[in-house]
């Protein structure tokens, strides 16, 4: 799976976005280490806070299908009718949700188009992230 293909899958997922309130359509494509790709779009709600972002839609689809290890996620977002103008970076809640499974090494491709994108590691987007290892005792020394 090339970066271009993953970004193309994110654009296709964006077509399914349900965003009647913000008009901001987002698509994500998450590549699992086993090669499977899980896509997601944002799904808004009349009770705004029940909205789910594209990244978490993709992540929860993946985990519910048994995937827990991921290589990269491609993300595209823009107001309806607009494309290629700016990159969309994952919101704070999605960074945290992805950190649980992807950790700091997960690659995040924030794309304007298939060949115009910014790539960062999740650890750069969420420095000193809180994850499962914090609760396992690995990182905790007795005071
Ligand atoms: N949104 C996402 O799906 N992912 C992001 O990373 C940024 C925000 C959605 C949530 C909401 O439906 C709309 O974009 C506007 O915030």
Mean pLDDT, residues 54-58: 98
Cβ of 42 closer than 6 Å to ligand 1, yes or no, is: yes
Render pLDDT for 25-47 as a digit per residue (tens, 0 to 9): 999 999 999 999 999 999 999 99
Render pLDDT for 83-113 as a digit per residue (tens, 0 to 9): 888 999 999 999 999 999 989 999 999 999 9
Contact between 30 and 10 under an 8 Å Cβ cutoff? The reply is no
Residues in contact with 80: Cβ distance below 8 Å, sequence separation at least 6, in sequence order: 19, 23, 24, 25
Mean pLDDT, residues 2-19: 98
Query: 43-48 contacts: CB < 8 A, separation 24 or more?
Result: 43/17, 43/18, 44/18, 44/19, 44/20, 46/21, 48/21
pLDDT above 90 (res 141): no
pLDDT recorded at residue 75? 98
Cβ of 24 closer than 6 Å to ligand 1, yes or no, is: yes
pLDDT recorded at residue 139? 64
pLDDT above 60 (res 143): no
Q: How many whole angstroms from 24 Cα to the centroid of ligand 1?
A: 7
pLDDT above 70 (res 132): yes
Residue nearest to atom 3 of ligand 1 (CA): 53
pLDDT recorded at residue 84? 80
- In this prediction, what percent of the chain has a pLDDT beyond 90? 92
pLDDT above 80 (res 128): yes
- 55 catalytically annotated: yes
């Amino acid at each position: 799976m090339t970066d271009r293909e993953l970004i193309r899958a994110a654009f296709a997922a964006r077509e399914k976005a349900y965003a009647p309130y913000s008009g901001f359509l987002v698509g994500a494509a998450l590549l699992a280490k086993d090669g499977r790709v899980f896509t997601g779009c944002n799904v808004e709600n009349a009770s705004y806070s029940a909205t789910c972002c594209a990244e978490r839609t993709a992540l929860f689809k993946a985990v519910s299908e048994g995937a827990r290890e991921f290589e990269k996620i491609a993300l595209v977002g823009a107001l309806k009718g607009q494309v290629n103008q700016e990159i969309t970076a994952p919101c704070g809640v999605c960074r945290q949700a992805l950190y649980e499974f992807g950790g700091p090494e997960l690659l995040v491709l924030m794309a304007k188009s298939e060949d115009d994108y910014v790539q960062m590691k999740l650890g750069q987007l969420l420095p000193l992230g809180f994850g499962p290892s914090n609760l396992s005792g690995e990182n905790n020394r007795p005071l």
